[in-house]
Structures are given as structure tokens and as C-alpha cells.
Amino acid sequence: MKQFTSVHDVDSLTRWVNDAIAIKQNAQGFEDYGDHKTLGLVFLNPSLRTRMSTQKAAYNLGMNTMVINMDKEGWALEMNDNVIMNGRSVEHIKEAAAVLGEYCDILGIRCFPGLQNKEEDYSEEVLEKFIKHCGVPVISLESATRHPLQSFADLLTIREQATKPKPKVVLSWAPHIKALPQAVPNSFSEWMCRAQEEGLVEFVITHPEDYDLAEDFTKGATITYNQNEALKGADFVYVKNWSSYTDYGKVLTIGEDWMITNNKLKLTDNAKVMHCLPVRRGLELADEILDGPNSLVIKQAGNRVFAAQTVLKKILETNFTR
Amino acid sequence: MKQFTSVHDVDSLTRWVNDAIAIKQNAQGFEDYGDHKTLGLVFLNPSLRTRMSTQKAAYNLGMNTMVINMDKEGWALEMNDNVIMNGRSVEHIKEAAAVLGEYCDILGIRCFPGLQNKEEDYSEEVLEKFIKHCGVPVISLESATRHPLQSFADLLTIREQATKPKPKVVLSWAPHIKALPQAVPNSFSEWMCRAQEEGLVEFVITHPEDYDLAEDFTKGATITYNQNEALKGADFVYVKNWSSYTDYGKVLTIGEDWMITNNKLKLTDNAKVMHCLPVRRGLELADEILDGPNSLVIKQAGNRVFAAQTVLKKILETNFTR
Amino acid sequence: MKQFTSVHDVDSLTRWVNDAIAIKQNAQGFEDYGDHKTLGLVFLNPSLRTRMSTQKAAYNLGMNTMVINMDKEGWALEMNDNVIMNGRSVEHIKEAAAVLGEYCDILGIRCFPGLQNKEEDYSEEVLEKFIKHCGVPVISLESATRHPLQSFADLLTIREQATKPKPKVVLSWAPHIKALPQAVPNSFSEWMCRAQEEGLVEFVITHPEDYDLAEDFTKGATITYNQNEALKGADFVYVKNWSSYTDYGKVLTIGEDWMITNNKLKLTDNAKVMHCLPVRRGLELADEILDGPNSLVIKQAGNRVFAAQTVLKKILETNFTR
């Protein structure tokens, strides 16, 4: 495995989940795998969970880590080719990526979308250029359209918590005041559609009209604008806001009535509630849910370590001899 | 020991100082104690000494460290309960603390007071909520009302430098142009009052009128508004500015005549001069003192490593099996 | 060796290059050298390559590293003596340096020039005060007038790539829109002049009128304002902008016609092209060069690790017993 940027880099979700469970049971059992190896974590945007969970995963594998907050510590990057760089940008991504590849054995990169230009964001040009020019294996730490380490941790959490062989999982759009990327819901949907193919879940998406996600990510999912309908009999409710894909990057409604509450939970089969965090209490999700017994949000965050560790271990095994 | 946030977490100062001296003489003798353990250092405010000395202490114990400057790298935190988070704050401290507890075995947190609301600051709500929700042992890296790692290093320095069994220690208010927290003087006073109880020092506080510290921290100390009186026969002068506690957070006077100079030192018994740093030269403390033979400020800063290492070692011994 | 701040700290370039080549061939062969040692990297200005390559070098030697971005994470430093610190600066460099020396066995510092006051910048007061007060060995991570780790990596790259015993090396001024320091060209020139003395290269400098570098750095070099003349038969062209030294810190011309292109390269002996990075494409250097087979810029950046590792190893060998 040369890279981990989407579910398409995974041969079998069933196998990967089993691998992650094995690693979780023996997190320090592989600490020679990363010996003498350096993981570089490159952030073009803020991070708490992703940085710390991935650092912890690397530490468990005996790797050295170097973090660079490019926006704050480094130089403004130029992404476009064949421009005269006589403006604000100081370094081209071609050089920046290649140099980072000289210092690190594996690189992770976080590059959020601008939410101004759909084609640009969905072409994943920053991630793709980074991969092209750095010359070493790359892990996405959340790109313009996907957040695969999160989705992997989410699937792991669902499998750990499921009490049925094929639980009903509902992705439910949530209210918000700001325009957020589609990366988390795209990615979760992509993973759940695949999980459904592998017989691991039944997957339903619900959101207001005009909030349809790009079809590439939702093939196989049941999609409905009726939240109550979707929630019926659900075993897991994955709560997440996103801005419109069709009217790109726009907040079309705050949508307060879409917030999951204990009352709405009554429609479900005592569903567990998930969120990738950070979550805005009282807006995206009711306090009573987050403080109640059905919330899985901290367990999800905890599983980020083991998702990252599984991915790093696979990359180490594939690309380096010990 | 589940936490270290004040002198109340210490059973015997005499014993702790001896422990710290033993560690200082053999700093690398305990490097298996922290094996496979991760210390998270969470800063809501700037830090130089505290971060680096605690990282060094952790390194000496073989621990992994992860630093997060929450204000710069992470997300704006919400501290209040039951609010609709539709403003600037992106993540609630409940989630942030719990997540950090998933990734770290021990957490340190720095959370300065706002100096706007006495009750809020003195309730230590940020520190207390952090402790409540993170689920792992917590070390204060300076909170709204205390800086116990500093006070421990200060006591260690006094014991190392003392030439009498029971030296006279004077906390002397210093001039400043900005409103500073009472955390360092509160904490130093609390530790010295306890040290006085244990027969280790004689403790005197001097400051201008209307600069009285909260009584909780000064019980047992001799307090005088007459600096010259206080300095007579002193063996150690601890210099520190603080803003008013009674007229909360206000700078009532610059107080230039309170600056300790060589001339004032003549009143003492050739006293050693201490300051927690950073110090504003020529305002808080005269150059001639800082550049002279009586200054202990660098030794104090150096001892921060061994104070932190002693605390970390005790937490490791109490909470984890090796 | 107590410090590494310029070529004057190097006894023999020939020997140092050989040492670096040996380390490059066996980068992990010395990982016990830095055991229990801590390298502090102090940045008053942004950094990508220097920080990461030096961290990697330290890691290869088994050292612990601590990075502090003083401008962002720490306190504003006062550089002047005998001032009343009642303004913006919070800590004096005397204390800051001494404290850092308490926590670290070796320190690196980056301190760019202000480009306002030639005498101040060329006195290297920040670097010199830091060295004076920290009490431990110091490595320059680029100071006001020099960037010796870069120059060492550059020389290493030239020696690796040279196909003649004494290649012709040309430092060619490049166009830019901003006022840049003279540190990199000063330092490169200083190293090449010495390399010329040792018979390793022939060294030529070319730049527009009024862009002469300070004579201290260029003694022995052939200097010409005629770029075409300089490029004739060149084996290496080192491209770099700098602001005027005589009309200090000023941009006297953008100088677009000084950009090295494939056409200009025809004048050379198929010269390899070098740049310390970051480079502004289309302004300092043509895309066709950077994307073409003659560019060495990534190899140079890669060699930063081995230059730093060689310097650190020498300092460890000289100052500490194992």
C-alpha cells in the first residue's frame, strides 16, 4: 500500500477491522515496526484529534514524528503551475512536497477545501500534487473531499458496538451556522456503502433537500429527506453537518429541527449516536445525547489511534524491510 | 496521587524536597518509569520554561510527550454548560478533555485567569472541568490561582541554597505596568506557609496596601505593608508582581519604589533574590541584582525540571504498574 | 568545537565533506552519540527545511529535540541592555538564553536580520548575546549574516555532483520583489572562498551594480556585473536573491533579466543549478530549470540532514563524554 486516501485503498473492510481490533488489543506489540522511521505530519489547517491520535499511533509503532503547521510555522504555498510567483506565496508545493519527502519516510497531510470552487476542491489538487511530488507513501489527514482515518475509526467503533450482525446505520445531517466541508459525510458514506456491500451494515442517509452529497460517494445508500423515516429502527445515528454540494459551499438553512434529541432517539432501536468531533453542543447535537449513555463520540475519538496505527503498520510492512 | 494542582496534593514538603534532590542527583536513573507512557501538555496560554522543563522531565523518565497549543493549533473551547454553541467556540471542554484523556496517560494543562471575574477565576472552573472530564491524572502547568510546579522548584532552590536551618523568606510585591495574575504569589505563599508549619522557613509577605492576597493562601504568614521592615534580616527575597485581589485584576499603582535594588538588599542578611521569570529588567528587578551574585533566578528555572520529574515519577508510581 | 556559526568554526572543508559523506552512508550508525542529550531549536523566524532536517539529524544521533517558536509560543524578547522594560518586551535575552541552556545540552537558534540597521545586523548581536548567556554549545540555524548549515549542505552537494576536480561555481544574483537578507549569499560566498583556497572549486560571483556583498565574505572571489561572462563554462550556478548591502536592505531593481533560464544555461558547461529554497518560480528561477534535469535543489535540501548531523556529531564528540 503506497497511500491511504480513501476506502479505495482498502481491499477488505472486514479484514481491516479485524486487524484494527488485534492492534487495539496489543497496541505496543509492534513497536519495532517503525524503528528508524520518521512520520511527517503536515497541516495546512488546524487539528487536535487527528494530530494527537496519529502521533500516538506512530509512537506505539516506535516511529519518530515531526509535525509542521505549514500555515503558521512554514511558508505560504503556491498550488498553481506555471505562474510567476510575485505575490504572497513563497514556496511551490512541488518543492515543499519533495523536500518533506527527503526528511520523512511517510507523510500525512491535512488540506481542507476552500469551498469556493467545486471543481477545484473535488479534483483534490493539493493532495494529488503532494502525493505526486513527495515521493514517499502518503496518508490523508483529511483532504478536500474525504477523511478516511475518521471513517475507519467510525467503522471500527460500529463493529465493536454492534449487537446485531447487520445494524442499521443512519447518516443524519445536522444544523450548523458555518459552511463546513463535505469531507466527513462523503467519506463516511463511501465507507458505509462499501460496508453494506460486504454485508456489515445497512446504510441510510437523511438530509434536507438540496443537501445531496455527490453521487460518487453514496452509491448503494438509501437516501431520504424524511429524517423521522430514516431514524426508524436505527442502531447507529451518525450526526454531521455539511454545506450544500449542489449550491456549492452554501449554508441553505440552519435547520434547527434536524438536531438529534432524546425525543428523536425514541424513533430508533435505542441507537448509539456518533459524531466525529468537534461538535457544537445545543446546535448540532443536544447536550442530553452527548452527556447520555447512547453517545459514542469519545470512543470514536479513542479509536482514531488504532485506525491510524493499522494504516501505518500496513504502510510500514509494504514499503520497508525490517 | 491522581493530580498535582496545589500544595494540598503533597503529604510532606520535607519528603518531597528530599525526593527531588535524589532525582536531581540521578536524573536519568528512572528512565524506565515512563516506558510506553504519553504525557500531553495542553496550553491555553504561552509558555517557555514550563513547557520545556516538563518535556525534559518526561524525557528523563522515558515518557513520550505531545504538546498542543490549544489557542493556536486547536479549536476555540467552550467552557459553559447548557449553551447553544452558535458563536465563536467550536468545541466544548467536556469533549476536548475527554478526547485528550483517550490519547494521553497523564495530562498537564495551563489555563490563566481572565482577571475580569474573581469568582469565576477563583473557582478554577477550567482546571476543574478539565480534571473532571479527562479521566486521567492531571498536572497543573499554572492555573487561574496557582502555579505549583513553580512553587515546588522554588522550595527546592531555597532548601539547596539555605545556610541556616530555618531561613527567613520574604515575598515582596514588585512594580509592573500590566495586570498580572495572583497565581505565582498565591502558590508561593501557600507552599511557604506549609514549609513554615514543617519548620523549614520563616515566611513574611510585603506589598502595598490594597494588594492583599486571598486569605486562603496566606494563613500563617506575617504580612506587612512596610517593605523595609520585611526585608530586615531576610535570607531569601522572592520578587513578584501581582494585580489587586480586592479590586480584582486592577493595577492600582506602578509602584516603582518597590523594585529591589542593591541598596535595598543591604537591609537583608545578604539575601538571595528569586523570581519565577519572565522578569522585566529595570521595572520588576534591577539589572544589578539580576546580573549580580545574589540572583537565583536561573537556578530556580533549572530546578523546574526536577520538580516536574518528581511529580511525574510519583504519578507514574501511583497510577501505573510497570 | 563549542559552536557552529560560520566557516571559521571549520578546520578543513575537505575533511568535513568527507565526514559528511561517511555519515550519509551510515546515517543510523551513530545513534548512541546523542543518548540522553537534548537539542533545543529556537526560532525567532519561520522555518521548514532547517527545523525538519536538524530534527531528523538529531533523531539519527539518538538525541531528544525540543522546538520553540519564540515569536509565537514564547514571550517577546528584549535585546538591549540597561533598559527599563516597561514596553512590549516581556523577557530579556539574558534570562531566556540562560534558561534554555538549563534545559538543553546543545542549542540551535534562528535570528534573521531586521534589514533596517546594517551595523546592528552585522554585529550579530542576537546570536552573540544568545551564545554568551546560554552557556552551552550553539548552532546557527541562520543568523543575520550567515546560514552555515545551508552552506555546508551546498558544498557537500557540489562535491557529490562534481565531475571535475575543480569545478567552476557561480553565485548568480536573482530577481525578487521583497527585501531578502544577505545571509545565504554571504555564507555561500564565505564557504566557496575557503573551498577555493583548499583547491576544491573556482568561485565567481555575479550581480547587478550596487549589489556588492560585504568584502569580509567575498575575499578571493572573482566578482563581475556581467552575468553572461560569469556563466561561461560554469559547472554549478547557485541562484539567490539578496537586497542591497551598500544601500542597506533596499530592493534597487526587480531585475527580471537576471532569472536563470534554459537559454542562459547554454552559456555554461551544462551547469547544475542550485538554490537554497524556498524559491519563487518564474521570478527567481524558471520552471523549466526547476523541473529539468539540471536542478539540484531537492538534493541540496536532502543534504541538510547530513550537514546538520555532521555538525551535531562533532559537537557531541567534543563536549560530552559517552
pLDDT of residue B75: 74
Q: What is the average per-residue pLDDT within C118-129?
A: 97
Q: What is the average per-residue pLDDT within A222-249?
A: 98
Mean pLDDT of all residues in chain A? Answer: 96
Mean pLDDT of all residues in chain C? Answer: 96
**B162 is written with which cell numbers?**
539555605
pLDDT of residue B321: 83
Give CA–CA dist B288/B278, Å, rounded: 17
pLDDT confidence band for B196 (50 / 70 / 90): very high
pLDDT of residue C185: 98
Q: For residue B89, list chain A residues with Cβ-Cβ distance below 8 A.
A: 280
CA distance A95 to chain C (A): 7
pLDDT digits (tens, 9 = 90+) for B140-186: 999 999 999 999 999 999 999 999 999 999 999 999 999 999 999 99
Bridge partners of residue A139, in order along the sequence: A4, A108
The amino acid at B58: A
> Quick check: A48 and B90 CB within 8 A?
no
pLDDT confidence band for C71 (50 / 70 / 90): confident
pLDDT of residue C72: 75
- Please give the ipTM for the structure prediction: 0.95
**Are C132 and C259 found together in one domain?**
no
pLDDT confidence band for C39 (50 / 70 / 90): very high
**Are B124 and B198 found together in one domain?**
no
A interface toward C at CB cutoff 8 Å? 36, 38, 40, 64, 66, 68, 70, 72-75, 78, 81-86, 89-92, 94-96, 98-100, 102-104
pLDDT digits (tens, 9 = 90+) for B75-126: 789 999 999 999 999 999 999 999 999 999 999 999 999 999 999 999 999 9
Q: Do the beta carbons of residue A203 and residue A166 sit within 8 Å?
A: no
pLDDT at A143 > cutoff 90: yes
Bridge partners of residue B106, in order along the sequence: B39
pLDDT at A322 > cutoff 80: no
Mean pLDDT of all residues in chain B? Answer: 96
Q: Do the beta carbons of residue A69 and residue B73 sit within 8 Å?
A: yes
**Are A119 and A224 found together in one domain?**
no
pLDDT of residue C76: 84
Q: What is the average per-residue pLDDT within C99-119?
A: 97
pLDDT digits (tens, 9 = 90+) for B268-296: 999 999 999 999 999 999 999 999 999 99
pLDDT at A136 > cutoff 80: yes
pLDDT of residue B146: 98
pLDDT at A71 > cutoff 80: no
> Quick check: A278 and B38 CB within 8 A?
no
Give the containing element (helix H, strand E) for B300: helix B297-319
DSSP state of A285: B
**Are A246 and A292 found together in one domain?**
yes
| CATH number for the domain that contains residue C8 | 3.40.50.1370
pLDDT digits (tens, 9 = 90+) for A236-267: 999 999 999 999 999 999 999 999 999 999 99
**Are C161 and C121 found together in one domain?**
no
Give CA–CA dist A10/A7, Å, rounded: 5
pLDDT confidence band for A321 (50 / 70 / 90): confident
**Are C160 and C282 found together in one domain?**
yes
User: How far, in whole angstroms, is CA A237 from its chain's centroid?
Assistant: 17
Which subunits have 3 or more CB–CB pairs within 8 Å of chain A? B, C
Give CA–CA dist B226/C95, Å, rounded: 29
C interface toward A at CB cutoff 8 Å? 28, 43, 46-49, 51-53, 55-56, 59, 69, 72, 177, 277-283, 287, 290-291, 297-298, 301-302, 305
pLDDT at B223 > cutoff 90: yes
**Are C240 and C315 found together in one domain?**
no
pLDDT of residue C245: 98
> Quick check: C56 and A74 CB within 8 A?
no
pLDDT confidence band for B70 (50 / 70 / 90): confident
Nearest beta carbon to residue A56 from set B38, B89, B90: B38
Q: What is the average per-residue pLDDT within B258-274?
A: 98
pLDDT digits (tens, 9 = 90+) for B206-222: 999 999 999 999 999 99
Domain count, chain B: 2
Closest-CA residue to A20 (of A284, A318, A313): A313
Q: By percentage, how much of chain B surpasses pLDDT 90?
A: 96
Instruction: Give a three-class secondary structure readout of A83-119.
Output: CCCCCCCCEEHHHHHHHHHHHCCEEEEECCCCCCCHH
pLDDT of residue C242: 98
pLDDT at A120 > cutoff 80: yes
Range of the domain at B194: 148-300
Q: Give chain B's count of helices (H) and strands (E).
A: 13, 12
pLDDT of residue C220: 98
Q: Do the beta carbons of residue C66 and residue C109 sit within 8 Å?
A: no
**Are A107 and A11 found together in one domain?**
yes
Instruction: Give a three-class secondary structure readout of chain C.
Output: CCEECCHHHCCCHHHHHHHHHHHHHCCCCCCCCCCCCEEEEEECCCCCHHHHHHHHHHHHCCCEEEEEEHHHHCCCEECCCCCCCCCCCCEEHHHHHHHHHHHCCEEEEECCCCCCCHHHHHCCHHHHHHHHHHCCCEEECCCCCCCHHHHHHHHHHHHHHCCCCCCEEEEEECCCCCCCCCHHHHHHHHHHHHHHHCCCCEEEEECCCCCCCCHHHHCCCEEECCHHHHHCCCCEEEEECCCCCCCCCCCCCCCHHHCECHHHHCCCCCCEEECCCCCCECCCECHHHHCCCCECHHHHHHHHHHHHHHHHHHHHHHHCCC
**Are A74 and A201 found together in one domain?**
no
Closest-CA residue to A187 (of A124, A130, A128): A124
Q: Do the beta carbons of residue C231 and residue C294 sit within 8 Å?
A: no
**Are B160 and B187 found together in one domain?**
yes
pLDDT digits (tens, 9 = 90+) for A14-33: 999 999 999 999 999 999 99
pLDDT of residue B257: 96
**Are C28 and C51 found together in one domain?**
yes
> Quick check: B84 and A281 CB within 8 A?
yes
- Residue C159: CB partners within 8 Å, gap ≥ 6? C17, C21, C200
Q: What is the average per-residue pLDDT within A101-123?
A: 97
Q: What is the average per-residue pLDDT within B7-31?
A: 97
pLDDT at A73 > cutoff 90: no
Residue B212, sorted as left (phi over 0), alpha (psi -120 to 50) or beta, turns out to be beta
> Quick check: B64 and A69 CB within 8 A?
no
Q: By percentage, how much of chain C surpasses pLDDT 70?
A: 99
- For cell 535570528, what's the residue? C111
pLDDT of residue C321: 83
- Select the residue from A112, A298, A299 to test the B interface by mutation, using most B Cβ atoms within 10 A: A298
Q: For residue C69, list chain A residues with Cβ-Cβ distance below 8 A.
A: 73
pLDDT of residue C75: 75
> Quick check: C301 and A102 CB within 8 A?
yes
pLDDT of residue B7: 98
Lowest mean pLDDT among A71-85, A204-218, A284-298, C135-149: A71-85
**Are B288 and B167 found together in one domain?**
yes
DSSP-derived secondary structure for B147-195: -HHHHHHHHHHHHHH-SSSS-EEEEEE---SS---SHHHHHHHHHHHHH
Q: Do the beta carbons of residue C166 and residue C202 sit within 8 Å?
A: yes
- C289-310 CB burial, b ≥16 within 10 A, e <16: bbeeebbbbbbbbbbbbbbbbb
Give CA–CA dist A207/A238, Å, rounded: 12
Q: What is the average per-residue pLDDT within B293-316?
A: 98
C interface toward B at CB cutoff 8 Å? 36, 38, 40, 64, 66, 68, 70, 72-75, 78, 81-86, 89-92, 94-96, 98-100, 102-104
